[in-house]
């Protein structure tokens, strides 16, 4: 496997997305006690986690479908069409889900995933990473290495959180 990290993120996304859809499905029409109610916490939590995972997989500002990943908007629109959510609930969810997540800007996240994949599969050393994965545009130095290392650490922490949730 050339991209074990990316593959793990994709699997985690699919799982959260499927759990949210299943939970919504299981609720049937009872999911909408009144039109402004939030959908169940399970739906909401899994959607939020799916969105957080997507931040590592899809370039920021991607509105249309990106590869296998539908955007939040598309997903919610589909659920409204299927009668699983009211338009009002979908709108409220979209607003909450699209609040800026904490952490580093999304632009650097895709290259961080690629860097960790390369580090693991090609057994690269930290100081070899900036060559391919730093976009400072200058001659790379130890700041680039340190910066990449801290980005990769942040990703590893996120991956560990995903794994521990899967076990619990
Ligand atoms: Zn650099």
Give the pLDDT score at 61.
62
Residues 68 and 122 reside in one and the same domain: no
Residues 114 and 88 reside in one and the same domain: no
As to burial, measured by CB atoms within 10 angstroms (0-12 exposed, 13-18 middle, 19+ buried), residue 147 is middle
Identify the domain boundary among 97, 128, 146: 97
Give the pLDDT score at 105.
64
Give the pLDDT score at 36.
46
30 CA → ligand 1 middle, Å: 54
Residues 86 and 134 reside in one and the same domain: no
Structural domain range at position 113 = 106-167
Give the pLDDT score at 60.
64
Identify the domain boundary among 63, 97, 131: 97
Residues 160 and 141 reside in one and the same domain: yes
Residues 137 and 160 reside in one and the same domain: yes
Give the pLDDT score at 21.
85
Beta bridge partners of 69: 66
Give the pLDDT score at 35.
46
130 CA → ligand 1 middle, Å: 6
Give the pLDDT score at 74.
83
Residues 27 and 56 reside in one and the same domain: yes
**Residues with Cβ < 8 Å from 132, sequence gap 6 or more?**
114, 115, 118
Give the pLDDT score at 146.
97
Identify the domain boundary among 39, 65, 97: 97
138 CA → ligand 1 middle, Å: 6
Task: Show pLDDT as tens, one digit a residue, over the chain (168 residues).
Answer: 589 999 999 999 999 989 988 888 776 655 555 544 556 778 888 888 888 888 888 876 655 555 677 777 888 888 888 877 778 878 877 887 777 555 666 678 889 999 999 999 999 999 999 999 998 999 999 999 999 999 999 999 999 999 887 665
62 CA → ligand 1 middle, Å: 26
Give the pLDDT score at 87.
82
53 CA → ligand 1 middle, Å: 26
Domain count along the chain? 2
Residues 33 and 73 reside in one and the same domain: yes
145 CA → ligand 1 middle, Å: 8
Phi, psi of 103 (to 5 degrees): 110, -170
């Amino acid at each position: 496997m050339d991209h074990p990290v990316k593959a793990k993120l994709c699997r985690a996304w699919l799982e959260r997305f499927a759990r949210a859809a299943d939970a919504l499905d299981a609720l049937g029409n009872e999911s909408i006690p009144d039109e402004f109610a939030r959908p169940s916490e399970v739906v909401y939590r899994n959607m939020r986690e799916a969105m957080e995972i997507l931040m590592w997989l899809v370039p920021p500002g991607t509105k249309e479908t990106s590869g296998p990943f539908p955007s939040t908007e598309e997903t919610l629109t589909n659920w409204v069409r299927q009668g699983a959510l009211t338009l009002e609930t979908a709108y409220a969810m979209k607003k909450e889900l699209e609040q800026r997540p904490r952490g580093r800007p999304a632009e650097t996240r895709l290259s961080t995933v690629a860097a960790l994949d390369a580090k693991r599969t090609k057994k690269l050393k930290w100081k070899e990473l900036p060559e391919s994965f730093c976009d400072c545009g200058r001659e790379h130095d130890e700041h680039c290495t340190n910066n990449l290392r801290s980005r990769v650490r942040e990703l590893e922490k996120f991956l560990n959180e995903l794994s521990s949730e899967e076990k619990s």
